[in-house]
């Protein structure tokens, strides 16, 4: 489409790097032309899940071809830790290894291949120690990385005792590998006067900058972090890249050479954290309509060997146990299991999906128990839509002021012909023994903001050069979501110029400091506002200048389509800028934004952790072969709330991409460990993310007509994470299809996620017993 005449904001412009992507010209960290003398690092890995290191013979490593240095924990000039707390995550384990794969040394060699080969030659003597490998095992052993958290409202035990119906259940929800296509990488180049420049594929440049400084014993102003684009992140490059950036930086300092650490895919999958798997137990009391009267939920997660981001991840799970439903008398307990596995981390949704899965399982079980349509049970539990209706305060004390779930679900129900199809499917299932269909409609309500309030700030720097071209920079990271494209639109809109006049430069801690992670779906909300503010300040100065030149009031000055008009006068943007430069007007500005209204007490878990909520719903239909557990998703309908979209094409991309990624998590993507703690699904040959053939043949996605009630950037809503939860409809449609094999229709279905063919066949066989 010809988009040049449209205003920048609201137009489906292509990704700002699209032409570079398709020609191979987009530069990722590993594509930066290497400086002469560049060396390559590879980690030497533990081959025990939990053990004391008795002896380490690294001589064979040192003697291997091309090896320049072998670095152990003792060699690190600063702190041997890359965690935010600086105490739980050694860069290189020294006395004890805490998971299978735990890096114990770094080999630095002339080539990547030499380093990888040498890394396998160490002879390490271990004394095995007992290892806990699952969340349940950790809970039983009271092994926790952080203290338990409880959120209570009302008297759940009393409500349970008094309820007309009561149901207990449990389920298990597997973890997920991020499988960003670009594995973790960092390239560190030592510079003069003990400074260092590090390119890192990270969503959190400032945290990596700090970690590198600590590892080197530097102050933060000696370290520059830079990232132009990431080959995917999804949360996996929030805290995890620090380890590889620190190791590259340490090696660079110790050898005096530029050093690159690029993880081989198998190393990346074994040595970096994943989505937390959860063990979930519940006790629910409800009325004849399935409305919850009392609820107890236990969430036990596998955090791995250290806290990493497990605290906020599990907090967000607790916050999202309500999903779109009012929980009146409720008691939630969250255990953060410490296991001898890799330390789990952020992943799109950040615990929210696991919390939502818990309540959706509860409601599905209730519907089956009562013989009701699960959608009716869901609806009976929705938050009240108006203050008069009540039932609109979350279990953590936040009033839901922007609730659109009821009209949104009603619209989707109608658009996808839910009721008629549900009847037709029931008929199909009565008539077919081998194949069963399932249809499920599930809602999403997702809280937007970092729960750690201090991260809800952002900075930007906008330069207007005297030729009228614009360079914008901000603290956010481009990892495919189109953040740079949206910022470009926002800045162009503010200056009334076409987007081609605006370029984005690489995110760099020496330009905009103290950045927050590009995470929590907040990239555009935060950096967009900061960039808008910077551009607006420049525009104001240009407005005053133009008004003065034309002898009109500032209010009469207009910026549009690259032209500025003031009364009788009109300039091209470039002409006005040139004149303003000559008149010594400041043409660059920084911007800063902090999210208003939010507050929350992490001790009581009460407050308003979220600025607003994003909403959505999906209906999915599946077909299941009951002989083998194989299945196919046949049709998906999505209605999703992105507020007023800044770029509908990018938002659509986030919705459908998030859907397929979430669907993979719940279906084909299974993590599998050997009994000795080694992850065996450490490559795409064994870990199966969806392919194009898994795309539902009918996939209808619509944006819900809704403006953000809060003053967000152009009234838009964050879109990165919420769609990840839409494919719960796929999982529960599969559960419906499994349930259709039971002629009573009422038996409890034991079915964990992911729903592999094996899981589904087991559930079918279980129902037949």
Partner 1 sequence: METPYRPIQFYYQGRIHRVEHAPVTRTLLQYLREDLTQTGTKEGCGEGDCGACTVVVGERVLDQDGREKLQLRALNSCIQLLPAMDGKALFTVEDVAKLLRGNGQLHPVQQALVDTHGSQCGFCTPGFIMSLWALYENYERCPNKETVLDALSGNLCRCTGYRPIVDSVAVAYQQPRAVWDQGPILAALREMAGAPALVYEGGGHRAYVPRNLAELAQLRLDHPEARLVAGSTDVGLWVTKQLRDLGDTLHLGQVAELKLIQVGDDSLDIGAGVSLTDAFACLTQEWPEWADLARRFASRPVKNAGTLGGNVANGSPIGDSMPALIALGARVVLQKGTARRELALEDFYLGYQKNALTPGEFLATIRLPRRHTQAGRLVFRAYKLSKRYEQDISAVCAAFALHLDPSGKILQARVAFGGMAATPKRAPATEGALAGQVWNAATAAAGAQALAQDYAPMSDVRARKEYRLAAAANLLQRFWQETGAPGQAPETPQSLRDFAPI
Q: For residues 449-508, which are near partner 1 according to CB under 8 A?
A: 479-482
Q: Restricting to residues 179-198, which ones interact with partner 1 according to CB under 8 A?
A: 179-183
| DSSP-derived pairing of the beta strands 39-45 and 67-72 | unpaired
Q: Can you tell me the distance from the alpha carbon of 394 to that of 412, in angstroms, rounded to the nearest whole number?
A: 24
Residue 75 beta carbon to partner 1: minimum distance, rounded to whole angstroms: 25
Q: Restricting to residues 685-704, which ones interact with partner 1 according to CB under 8 A?
A: 685-686, 688-695, 697-699
Angle at 4 between CA 3 and CA 10, to 5 degrees: 50
Q: Restricting to residues 245-264, which ones interact with partner 1 according to CB under 8 A?
A: 264
Structure tokens at 382: 């929705």
Nearest to 322 by CA among 362, 275, 273: 362
**Is residue 28 involved in binding partner 1 (CB under 8 A)?**
yes
First and final CA of the chain: distance in angstroms?
58
Residue 769 beta carbon to partner 1: minimum distance, rounded to whole angstroms: 13
**Is residue 35 involved in binding partner 1 (CB under 8 A)?**
no
Residue 533 beta carbon to partner 1: minimum distance, rounded to whole angstroms: 27
Of the two residues 338 and 486, which places its CB atom closer to partner 1 in the complex? 486
Q: Restricting to residues 504-563, which ones interact with partner 1 according to CB under 8 A?
A: none
Residue 274 beta carbon to partner 1: minimum distance, rounded to whole angstroms: 14
Structure tokens at 679: 């992850």
The distance of Cα 763 from the centroid of its chain, to the nearest Å, equals 30
**Is residue 23 involved in binding partner 1 (CB under 8 A)?**
yes
Residues 83-112: x where in contact with partner 1 by CB under 8 A, - otherwise, as a string: ----------------------------x-
**Is residue 24 involved in binding partner 1 (CB under 8 A)?**
yes
Candidate residues 6, 7, 10, 26; the one interacting with partner 1 per rule CB under 8 A: 26
Residue 412 phi, psi dihedral angles, 5° rounding: -65, -40
Q: Can you tell me the distance from the alpha carbon of 551 to that of 648, in angstroms, rounded to the nearest whole number?
A: 40
**Is residue 434 involved in binding partner 1 (CB under 8 A)?**
yes
Residues 112-131: x where in contact with partner 1 by CB under 8 A, - otherwise, as a string: -x--xx--x-----------
Nearest to 597 by CA among 458, 432, 398: 398
Q: Restricting to residues 144-183, which ones interact with partner 1 according to CB under 8 A?
A: 178-183
Q: Enumerate residues 6+ apart whose C-beta is below 8 A from 736.
A: 374, 438, 439, 440
**Is residue 678 involved in binding partner 1 (CB under 8 A)?**
no
Q: Enumerate residues 6+ apart whose C-beta is below 8 A from 513.
A: 206, 459
Q: Indicate if the alpha-carbon torsion angle 362, 366, 372, 377 is positive or negative.
A: negative
Nearest to 76 by CA among 280, 247, 324: 247
**Is residue 33 involved in binding partner 1 (CB under 8 A)?**
yes
Nearest to 210 by CA among 262, 246, 251: 246
Residue 83 phi, psi dihedral angles, 5° rounding: -85, 165
Residue 480 beta carbon to partner 1: minimum distance, rounded to whole angstroms: 3
Residue 464 has, within 13 A of its CA and on its CB side, a CA count of: 31
Q: Restricting to residues 693-752, which ones interact with partner 1 according to CB under 8 A?
A: 693-695, 697-699
**Is residue 21 involved in binding partner 1 (CB under 8 A)?**
yes
Residue 226 beta carbon to partner 1: minimum distance, rounded to whole angstroms: 17
- Count residues contacting partner 1 (CB under 8 A)? 97
Candidate residues 86, 649, 709, 750; the one interacting with partner 1 per rule CB under 8 A: 649
Q: Catalytic site residues?
A: 721
Q: Restricting to residues 618-647, which ones interact with partner 1 according to CB under 8 A?
A: 621, 623, 625, 627-632, 634-635
Q: Restricting to residues 602-621, which ones interact with partner 1 according to CB under 8 A?
A: 621
Residue 550 in 3-state DSSP?
A: helix
**Is residue 134 involved in binding partner 1 (CB under 8 A)?**
no
Taking only Cα atoms into account, the Rg of the chain, rounded to an integer number of angstroms, comes to 27
Number of continuous H segments (helices) and E segments (strands) in the chain? 19, 29
Nearest to 228 by CA among 185, 264, 271: 185
Candidate residues 537, 657, 702, 766; the one interacting with partner 1 per rule CB under 8 A: 657
Q: Can you tell me the distance from the alpha carbon of 490 to that of 10, in angstroms, rounded to the nearest whole number?
A: 10
Residue 687 beta carbon to partner 1: minimum distance, rounded to whole angstroms: 9
Residue 730 beta carbon to partner 1: minimum distance, rounded to whole angstroms: 13
Of the two residues 45 and 117, which places its CB atom closer to partner 1 in the complex? 117
| DSSP-derived pairing of the beta strands 588-594 and 569-572 | unpaired
Of the two residues 13 and 297, which places its CB atom closer to partner 1 in the complex? 13
């Amino acid at each position: 489409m010809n988009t040049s005449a449209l205003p920048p904001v609201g137009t489906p412009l292509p990704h700002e790097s699209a032409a570079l992507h398709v020609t191979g010209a987009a530069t990722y960290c590993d594509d930066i032309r290497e400086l002469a003398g560049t060396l390559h690092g590879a980690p030497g890995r533990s081959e025990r899940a939990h053990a004391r290191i008795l002896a380490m013979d690294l001589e064979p490593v040192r003697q291997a071809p091309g090896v320049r240095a072998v670095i152990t924990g003792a060699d690190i000039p600063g702190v041997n830790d890359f965690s935010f707390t600086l105490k739980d995550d050694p860069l290189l384990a020294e006395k004890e290894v805490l998971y299978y794969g735990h890096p114990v040394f770094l080999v630095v060699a002339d080539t990547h291949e030499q380093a990888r080969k040498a890394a396998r030659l160490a002879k390490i003597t271990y004394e095995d120690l007992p290892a806990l490998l699952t969340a349940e095992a950790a809970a039983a052993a009271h092994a926790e990385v952080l203290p338990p958290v409880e959120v209570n409202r009302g008297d759940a035990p009393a409500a349970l005792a008094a309820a007309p119906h009561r149901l207990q259940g449990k389920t298990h929800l597997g973890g997920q590998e991020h499988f960003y296509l670009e594995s973790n990488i960092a390239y560190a180049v030592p510079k003069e006067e003990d400074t260092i420049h590090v390119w890192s594929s990270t969503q959190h440049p400032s945290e990596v900058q700090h970690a590198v400084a600590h590892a080197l014993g530097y102050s933060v102003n000696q370290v520059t972090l830079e990232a132009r684009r990431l080959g995917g992140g999804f949360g996996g490059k929030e805290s995890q890249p620090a380890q590889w950036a620190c190791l590259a930086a340490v090696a660079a300092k110790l050898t005096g050479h530029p050093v690159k650490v690029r993880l081989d895919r198998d190393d990346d999958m074994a040595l970096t954290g994943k989505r937390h798997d959860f063990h979930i137990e519940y006790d629910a009391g409800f009325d004849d309509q399935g409305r919850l009267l009392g609820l107890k939920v236990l969430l036990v997660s596998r955090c791995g060997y250290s806290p990493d981001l497990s605290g906020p991840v599990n907090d967000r799970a607790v916050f999202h146990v309500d999903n779109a439903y009012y929980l009146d008398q409720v008691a939630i307990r969250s255990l953060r299991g410490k296991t001898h596995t890799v330390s789990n981390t952020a992943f799109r949704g950040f615990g929210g999906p696991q919390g939502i899965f818990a309540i959706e399982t509860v409601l599905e079980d209730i519907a089956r128990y009562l013989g009701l349509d699960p959608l009716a049970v869901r609806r009976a539990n929705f938050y009240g839509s108006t203050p008069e209706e009540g039932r609109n305060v979350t279990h953590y004390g936040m009033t839901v002021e922007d609730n659109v779930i009821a009209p949104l679900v009603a619209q989707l129900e109608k658009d996808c012909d839910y009721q008629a199809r549900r009847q037709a499917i029931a008929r199909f299932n009565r008539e077919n023994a081998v194949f069963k269909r399932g249809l499920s409609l599930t809602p999403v309500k997702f809280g937007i903001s970092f729960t750690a309030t201090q991260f809800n700030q952002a900075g930007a720097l906008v330069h207007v050069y005297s030729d009228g071209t614009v360079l914008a920079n901000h603290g956010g990271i481009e990892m495919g979501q189109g953040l740079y494209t949206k910022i470009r639109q926002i800045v162009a809109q503010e200056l009334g110029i076409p987007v081609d006049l605006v370029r984005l430069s690489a995110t760099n801690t020496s330009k905009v400091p103290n950045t927050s992670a590009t995470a929590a779906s907040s990239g555009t909300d935060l950096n967009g506002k900061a960039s808008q503010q910077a551009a607006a300040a420049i525009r104001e100065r240009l407005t005053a200048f133009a008004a003065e030149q034309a002898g009109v009031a500032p209010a009469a000055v207009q910026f549009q389509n690259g032209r500025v008009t003031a009364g009788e006068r009109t300039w091209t943007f470039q002409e006005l800028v040139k004149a303003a430069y000559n008149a010594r007007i400041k043409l660059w500005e920084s911007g800063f934004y902090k999210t208003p209204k939010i507050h929350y007490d992490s001790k009581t878990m009460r407050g308003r952790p979220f600025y607003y909520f994003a909403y959505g719903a999906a209906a999915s239909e599946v077909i299941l072969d009951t002989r083998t557990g194989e299945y196919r998703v046949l049709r998906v309908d999505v209605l999703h709330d992105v507020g007023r979209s800044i770029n509908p094409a990018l938002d659509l991309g986030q919705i459908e991409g998030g859907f397929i990624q979430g669907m993979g998590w719940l279906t084909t993507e299974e993590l599998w460990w050997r009994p000795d703690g080694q992850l065996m699904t450490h490559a795409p040959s064994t870990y199966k993310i969806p392919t194009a053939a898994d795309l539902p043949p009918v996939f209808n996605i619509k944006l819900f007509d809704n403006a953000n009630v809060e003053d967000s950037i152009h009234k838009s809503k964050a879109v990165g994470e919420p769609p990840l939860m839409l494919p719960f409809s796929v999982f529960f449609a599969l559960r419906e299809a499994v349930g259709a094999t039971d002629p009573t229709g009422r038996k409890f279905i034991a079915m964990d996620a992911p729903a592999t063919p094996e899981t589904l066949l087991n559930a079918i066989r279980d129902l037949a017993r």
